[in-house]
Chains A and B, each alone.
Chain A
Amino acid sequence: MPDTVDTIYALSSGGGKAGIAVVRVSGSLARVAVQVSCGRLPAARMAERVSVKISQGTVKLDEAIVLWFPGPHSFTGEDIAEFHLHGSLGIVRLFLGELGSMDGFRPAEPGEFTRRALSNGKIDLVGVEGLNDMLAAETATQVKQALFHVDGRASEIFHAWRDQLIEASALAEACIDFTDEEGVADAALPQIRDSVLDLIKIMTENLHDSERGHLNRQGVRVVLAGSPNVGKSSLLNAIAARDVAIVSSEAGTTRDIVEVSLDLGGVSMIISDTAGLRDKVDSHVEQLGIDRTHQRLSYADIVISVASPDANWQNTGVDSPTLRIWNKADITAPKPTDSCEMEVSALTGKGIEELMTLLASMAAELSGDGEPALLVRERQVQAVKAAISHLKNALKADLPIELIAEDLRRAARNVGKLIGEVGTEDLLDSIFSKFCIGK
């Protein structure tokens, strides 16, 4: 069959002026692109300096490094060529134009290199998701977390779960289908039980860690809350103005909530200002703002509850770790003695440094010092929760073997959602390798 898949190309480094621009080409014609523009094919996987020419190899464009990765030993599994050009807008534009003029070449769609890697089995779903996170990572913790999924450590654990489930399922299926065989059913039920208990334990531990994974990936959510006019906005500005670690500062989706995202000791942190809390509310608009504050508080990993000479601490209504601070410490005023953890002044900057240090240590503790977690996405958490629930069902007293088998299949299907299906042949392979079947 003729291979009619297009060869794709794209500028794989960032746009704009830069020292180097990397153009990547993938597909069966990548070889042609190199031969035409460089006049020859360099040795596989060896960096070589070449003259890059355009207009069918007649006009010299640049001196560049070119790398040649023949498939299947490449990122996408297809032939890949990488051109490391000088990063000028003109060179890049002319070179991409040259590729576009060749027959069978077209610009890559967003994510197409990765998609080809996926469909050629060079990377699995877990890896693709990790890669996505890695490209979006802003802090050291996020990089570490993403790497755990990209380099295959996460897949390895999922595969181990899958294998253990296949083994337990195979035992149950053997009890059903090979009932006349000697030595099949004897030890099966206790073995299944032990294996299922073990899986439930490991999966549950990882489920607990998933909160940490979420923090690593999305950042620690800190919410400033308190009565109106205690200086929450000034406090947020003081934090934002303090140092260069700010990642972004933009208005939230509502007029009332402003967020600052920063990198605090390698941990990503999002601090939100909120509308002031009051018991008695005058207007509908103010009530809406307060509702949003409560909603935001319910997602908070850390709450900074602010009081000042103007107003005492408010009840935030949530049980997340809470830091009670006294703002406007520059004003001399009587201060309630109960459980104030820190005095600051947004105006003079007093105590802000200490506040940041305290937040950093709280965040580090919450995120387990940035140790990567296995389950970082809602999809993964849901699949593992479902698997655990089926496994628990399989342990019910006096459950007939065919229903144990059914629950194990369903658990396997959910683990399969993490990495790929578990088929009947996997079960049969396991049965036949373990038992001497056949009268």
Chain B
Amino acid sequence: MKQNPNTEFDVVVVGGGHAGCEAASAAARRGARTALVTHRKSTIGEMSCNPAMGGLGKGHLIREIDALDGLIARASDKAAIQYRLLNRSKGPAVRGPRAQIDRKLYRAAMQQEILGHTNLSVIEAAVGAFMMKDGRVCGIVGEDGREISCLAVVLTTGTFLGGLIHIGEKKIPAGRAGEEPSNGLSRVLRGTGLQIGRLKTGTPPRLDAATINYDNLEEQAGDAHPFYFSTLTTHTHAPQVSCHITHTNAATHKIISDNLHKSAMYAGFIEGTGPRYCPSIEDKVVKFADRTSHQIFLEPEGIDDITIYPNGISTSLPEEVQDAYVHSIAGLENVKILQPGYAIEYDYVDPRELDASLAVKKLPGLFLAGQINGTTGYEEAAAQGLVAGANAAARACQLDELRIDRSQGYIGVMIDDLVTRGVSEPYRMFTSRAEYRLLLRADNADQRLTPLAIEKGLCSQLRKQLFDARTEQLTGLRDKLQTLVLSPHAAEAAGLPANKDGKIRSAYEYLSYPDIDVARLGLVWPELLETASELRELVEAEAIYATYVDRQKAEIEAFNQDATITIPEDIDYGLISGLSNEVRQKLSERRPETIGHAARIDGVTPGALVLVIAHMRKYPAARLAG
């Protein structure tokens, strides 16, 4: 590892949100002298939107961050006040852990991690510009003029870049409610020639729990047996609570329709694109006019917090209209609104400006993570933060890069989607984005990624020991399942499904039958029950998907082959005849690193790839030169 005595720090992370915390910790864990620069220490780990972590796809991301020894999973477990494993009734590949989170407990847990972190200093400052040398980013300049030199900067500014809050026709420049935006940095970035666009997201009004009438509302309790986010977590930390469900009605919809022209969105004040999967209540009423009612989850923001987050009615209507429609909803007739809902518009950098390490291609030394890359969600931000921080450390201290591909994890799927396809709305993770979904499960995240964390120096000794122990147990269980066998006759005697073909079957084969789990086989072979139930479930999942997974593995091989065909950096797409202008322009701009990357760029056809490969074969000399 390289020492850099000439700079104040190796890595500077700007922003103390979910991306910033993971970035700073990852860089510091790799040994880089790291600084986290944020407006205020007290807002580190703030959850600015809904008080929940995880869900489908998102829960997978948290498990993967945990497998790489990131912070968000264990901080969430310390602050979780209701656990629910989504899709529990469906197969193990599509189950997603989710929890309601106590905002204050979460902030405290995250601040404890960050403020006591080895190799990590926290500096309170507003960043206004970069220090540049020979076209490289080599530090940051505070708005007070203070310079901090370093070798790599990770920018995780969330919605603060050019942030603008809309409530009806009111416009308030802000990063989030009550906090200043970063307009200086926005101007600096716009001056660099990077492609910058505007996105929009929204929040609902916050309600006072004491003024809600819960009598006739449906209660939703958490799971009796929680599925924790972190494999390090052994018990539930906080008291557990319920959520409640209410609905909009015809009266609500009428108030909204009548006042649509006052909505910032519908009055045309907002230029940014909002997410389709998280529409405002205005959008729901307009686009799904046939629905007479929409569901609202009343989510508590904490144990000793009176605030309720009504999930499902984000809005940019004026305060008096919010007031009217909220009071039309069952249980909320007399509710007190603590803070109005708002829409917020912010700058994002087209993520196609980045490579798969999340480095800005045109500005060496600069890394971006989180909402600035066009994503939405705490989990998406944190996952990018971890990768960007690990790679900023790699650049500063000349270590190996951390790259995760689509076959290794949801993190790889997300980053590949971002850097090859860009975004047209805030990007959120779904399980349907992962083509190897059956392999990339929440239960096996550590088996997929912890070896990588160990290899890259991201992993603590404690986690390594736990990982080794889990792996040993898993291997032991798989071996037992393969070696324990039963004839059809003996199977019948034991009450297992017996196929009378005389063929002796292993316990593993019986496990692939529907309705047969390890507990059932334990009646025949009690030694199988020695393994922890969590790991038994993991092996059961493997058995269920075995036949499909074999085919997926073959696909991954084909995918990896494409990924090994490197395209020379200096390839001149202008020389390849037969490429359409559109494709030529896209390839020239994005400069994909491999044929696999090129294939995933919108509009690049298999025909075009053949032309590129043929060109590379025809001019192998150019390839060597590249």
Using CB atoms and an 8 Å cutoff, list the residues of chain A in contact with chain B.
1-6, 77, 112, 115-116, 118-121, 173, 176-183, 398, 400-403, 405-406, 409, 420, 424-425, 427-428, 432, 436-439
Kindly provide the distance from the CB of B206 to the nearest chain A CB, expressed in whole angstroms: 15
Does B526 lie at the interface of the complex (its beta carbon under 8 Å from any beta carbon of A)? no
Cα A181 to Cα B584 with chains together (Å): 42
Q: 1/0 contact trace for B81-94 toward A, CB 8 Å?
A: 00000110011011
Can you list 6 A-B contacts with CB-CB less than 8 angstroms, sorted by A residue number? A5-B574, A176-B87, A176-B90, A400-B90, A400-B91, A436-B294
- Asked whether B57 lies within 8 Å of A402 as measured between CB atoms, the reply is no
Cα A119 to Cα B604 with chains together (Å): 9
- Asked whether B432 lies within 8 Å of A119 as measured between CB atoms, the reply is no
- Asked whether A436 lies within 8 Å of B284 as measured between CB atoms, the reply is yes
Known contacts A398-B514, A436-B288, A177 near B432 by CB under 8 Å: yes
Given contacts A1-B585, A438-B278, 10 further A-B contacts (CB under 8 A): A5-B579, A116-B578, A119-B608, A119-B611, A177-B57, A181-B295, A402-B438, A403-B438, A436-B287, A439-B295
| B84 nearest in chain A by CB position | A180
Cα A6 to Cα B578 with chains together (Å): 9
| A180 nearest in chain B by CB position | B86
Cα A428 to Cα B424 with chains together (Å): 12
Q: Which residues of B contact A400 (CB under 8 A)?
A: 90-91, 544
| B573 nearest in chain A by CB position | A1
Say which residue of B56, B276, B580, B585 sits within 8 Å of A176 (CB atoms).
B56
Q: Which residues of A contact B278 (CB under 8 A)?
A: 437-439
- Asked whether B94 lies within 8 Å of A176 as measured between CB atoms, the reply is yes
Does B100 lie at the interface of the complex (its beta carbon under 8 Å from any beta carbon of A)? no
Say which residue of B287, B296, B548, B578 sits within 8 Å of A406 (CB atoms).
B548
Kindly provide the distance from the CB of B618 to the nearest chain A CB, expressed in whole angstroms: 13
Q: Which residues of A contact B90 (CB under 8 A)?
A: 176, 179, 400-402
Task: Name the interface residues of B426-444: CB closer than 8 Å to any CB of A.
Answer: 430-433, 435, 437-438
Kindly provide the distance from the CB of B456 to the nearest chain A CB, expressed in whole angstroms: 29
- Asked whether B277 lies within 8 Å of A119 as measured between CB atoms, the reply is no
Say which residue of A5, A118, A402 sits within 8 Å of B437 (CB atoms).
A402
Cα A424 to Cα B429 with chains together (Å): 12
| A128 nearest in chain B by CB position | B607
Say which residue of B56, B312, B583 sits within 8 Å of A179 (CB atoms).
B56
Does B483 lie at the interface of the complex (its beta carbon under 8 Å from any beta carbon of A)? no
Kindly provide the distance from the CB of A126 to the nearest chain B CB, expressed in whole angstroms: 13
Kindly provide the distance from the CB of A435 to the nearest chain B CB, expressed in whole angstroms: 8
How many chain-B residues does the 8 Å CB contact rule pick out? 50
Cα A420 to Cα B604 with chains together (Å): 11
- Asked whether A112 lies within 8 Å of B294 as measured between CB atoms, the reply is no
Does B588 lie at the interface of the complex (its beta carbon under 8 Å from any beta carbon of A)? yes
| B247 nearest in chain A by CB position | A182
- Asked whether B311 lies within 8 Å of A439 as measured between CB atoms, the reply is yes
- Asked whether A182 lies within 8 Å of B277 as measured between CB atoms, the reply is no
Q: 1/0 contact trace for B594-612 toward A, CB 8 Å?
A: 0000000000010110010
Say which residue of A119, A182, A401 sits within 8 Å of B605 (CB atoms).
A119
- Asked whether A432 lies within 8 Å of B94 as measured between CB atoms, the reply is no
- Asked whether B294 lies within 8 Å of A176 as measured between CB atoms, the reply is no
Q: 1/0 contact trace for B387-431 toward A, CB 8 Å?
A: 000000000000000000000000000000000010000000011
Q: Which residues of B contact A176 (CB under 8 A)?
A: 56, 87, 90, 94, 431-432
Q: 1/0 contact trace for B270-307 toward A, CB 8 Å?
A: 00000111110000100110010011110000000000
Q: 1/0 contact trace for B38-70 toward A, CB 8 Å?
A: 000000000000000000110000000000000
Kindly provide the distance from the CB of A189 to the nearest chain B CB, expressed in whole angstroms: 12
Kindly provide the distance from the CB of A55 to the nearest chain B CB, expressed in whole angstroms: 28
Kindly provide the distance from the CB of B283 to the nearest chain A CB, expressed in whole angstroms: 8
Kindly provide the distance from the CB of A173 to the nearest chain B CB, expressed in whole angstroms: 4
Does B493 lie at the interface of the complex (its beta carbon under 8 Å from any beta carbon of A)? no
Kindly provide the distance from the CB of A123 to the nearest chain B CB, expressed in whole angstroms: 11
Known contacts A180-B86, A400-B91, A438-B312, A406 near B574 by CB under 8 Å: no
Cα A75 to Cα B291 with chains together (Å): 47
Q: Which residues of B contact A181 (CB under 8 A)?
A: 295
Known contacts A179-B86, A432-B277, A401 near B91 by CB under 8 Å: yes
Does B4 lie at the interface of the complex (its beta carbon under 8 Å from any beta carbon of A)? no
- Asked whether B296 lies within 8 Å of A118 as measured between CB atoms, the reply is no
Cα A401 to Cα B584 with chains together (Å): 40
Q: Which residues of B contact A173 (CB under 8 A)?
A: 430, 432
- Asked whether A119 lies within 8 Å of B294 as measured between CB atoms, the reply is no
Kindly provide the distance from the CB of A343 to the nearest chain B CB, expressed in whole angstroms: 57
Kindly provide the distance from the CB of A185 to the nearest chain B CB, expressed in whole angstroms: 10
Q: Which residues of B contact A2 (CB under 8 A)?
A: 574
- Asked whether A177 lies within 8 Å of B56 as measured between CB atoms, the reply is yes
- Asked whether B91 lies within 8 Å of A403 as measured between CB atoms, the reply is yes
Q: Which residues of B contact A121 (CB under 8 A)?
A: 580
Kindly provide the distance from the CB of A348 to the nearest chain B CB, expressed in whole angstroms: 58
Say which residue of A1, A120, A178, A428 sits within 8 Å of B588 (CB atoms).
A1
- Asked whether A119 lies within 8 Å of B578 as measured between CB atoms, the reply is yes
Q: Which residues of A contact B284 (CB under 8 A)?
A: 436, 438
Does B581 lie at the interface of the complex (its beta carbon under 8 Å from any beta carbon of A)? yes
Q: Which residues of B contact A425 (CB under 8 A)?
A: 421
- Asked whether B276 lies within 8 Å of A115 as measured between CB atoms, the reply is no
Cα A116 to Cα B584 with chains together (Å): 13
Cα A403 to Cα B56 with chains together (Å): 17
Residue of B288, B581, B611 most packed against chain A (CB within 10 A): B581
Kindly provide the distance from the CB of A4 to the nearest chain B CB, expressed in whole angstroms: 4
- Asked whether B297 lies within 8 Å of A439 as measured between CB atoms, the reply is yes
Q: Which residues of A contact B294 (CB under 8 A)?
A: 182, 436
Cα A308 to Cα B574 with chains together (Å): 70
Q: Which residues of A contact B584 (CB under 8 A)?
A: 1, 5
Cα A432 to Cα B312 with chains together (Å): 16
Q: Which residues of A contact B514 (CB under 8 A)?
A: 398
Does B233 lie at the interface of the complex (its beta carbon under 8 Å from any beta carbon of A)? no
Task: Name the interface residues of B78-122: CB closer than 8 Å to any CB of A.
Answer: 86-87, 90-91, 93-94
Cα A1 to Cα B57 with chains together (Å): 40
- Asked whether B432 lies within 8 Å of A6 as measured between CB atoms, the reply is no
| A3 nearest in chain B by CB position | B581
Q: Which residues of A contact B94 (CB under 8 A)?
A: 176, 401-402
